[in-house]
Amino acid sequence: MHDEPLDAAYYQDLLREHELSVTPFRVKLLKLLAKLSVPLSVQNIAAKFDEAVDKVTLYRNLEAFEHAGLVCRMYFNGQEALYEQRFTDHHHHHLICTNCGRIEDVAGCSIETPRTGSGFKINHHHLEFYGLCHECQLKKQGII
């Protein structure tokens, strides 16, 4: 779903544009996030690194990215926080399986941004559809 990997200079510029200091770890983390196809927990993002990463450091950086609008934090089915980048991504929504927790992307958006009387400035939205994935449907029918 995501574009081809971009070079370090792209990520350095991205960090500067968002008024974040440039560190090798942040560049590495952005690169990694750009490659992910589904939202992942801090634990699962940490596991994607070749070397051991401090979870608190990782969490703090994800939080900084979230505040800067580079990353979205989501909670599905009352699970732990899941993170997904939104700097290279095409806008999409998620399908959540209520049986196994599988997450799939679904393209297309028919949401019209509402007018807000209060002066609230909307910058993006999230939308999830809940149901059963194909595999869980087959399991339910006793086919697999």
Residues in contact with Zn ion by CB under 5 A are 72, 84, 97, 99-100, 102, 105, 109, 111, 133, 136
Residue 111 or 143: the one with the smaller Cβ distance to Zn ion is: 111
Considering the complex, what minimum distance in angstroms separates the CB of residue 56 from Zn ion?
A: 22
Please name the helix (run of DSSP H) or strand (run of DSSP E) that holds residue 93, with its range, or none.
strand 92-97
Task: Tell which residue, 28, 36, 29, 41, has the closest CA to residue 1.
Answer: 36
Residues paired with residue 105 on neighbouring β-strands, in sequence order: 94
* Cα Rg of the chain (Å, integer): 17
Backbone angles phi, psi at 93, to 5 degrees: -115, 175
Considering the complex, what minimum distance in angstroms separates the CB of residue 136 from Zn ion?
A: 3
Considering the complex, what minimum distance in angstroms separates the CB of residue 89 from Zn ion?
A: 7
Residue 12 or 59: the one with the smaller Cβ distance to Zn ion is: 59
Residue 26 or 84: the one with the smaller Cβ distance to Zn ion is: 84
